[in-house]
Amino acid sequence: MSIAEKSFPVSWDQFHRDARALAWRLAGLQTEWRAIVCITRGGLVPTAIISRELGIRLIETACVASYHDYTEQGELKVLKEISAPLLENGGEGILIIDDLTDTGKTAGIVRAMLPKAHFATVYAKPKGRPLVDTFITEVSQDTWIYFPWDLGLSFQAPIGKATAG
């Protein structure tokens, strides 16, 4: 995957609103969640918001490295497994949280560990969307989402200038 042609910068305020919207959708499922499995690192911020909103205190991490730089997705590597008690019954009653499902590769690895868990992301792209049960916003596959923790304040060229040949 090469760097996307389109960009979608997300502010802290927008991300917080979107993560809370995800919590509202999940609350509407009226499920008693045993725990959250947070996919690090991107899932850390939405997990903090969702765990607060839904009152979930048991949080586990699944550490999968995929983006080794900001332009290419490298080989996936599981850096930390999920604890055995959460794997029981295929992860039934477990909520998996990530910021984004892009190609679905990371989601596929975690889904295989917890096939009965409910997978929720704030954003989804078409290739990864089939692996997610609940999400808030879908963006095109050729869009790169710039999360607030990746951004600093700087000049942005007008869209018309950026697309003019």
Q: Is 102 among the catalytic positions?
A: yes
Which three-class secondary structure state does DSSP give residue 88?
A: helix
As given in the structure block, the two tokens for residue 48 are 């903090």
- Exactly one of 13, 18, 99, 142 is catalytic; name it: 99
Radius of gyration (Cα) for the chain, nearest Å?
A: 16
Q: Is 98 among the catalytic positions?
A: yes
- Exactly one of 98, 133, 142, 150 is catalytic; name it: 98
| Count of C-beta atoms within a 10 Å radius of residue 41 | 16
Alpha helices in 28-104 (DSSP H): 44-54, 84-87
Residue 3 CB-half CA count within 13 A: 5
- Exactly one of 102, 133, 142, 150 is catalytic; name it: 102
Give catalytic residues, as residue numbers. 98-99, 102
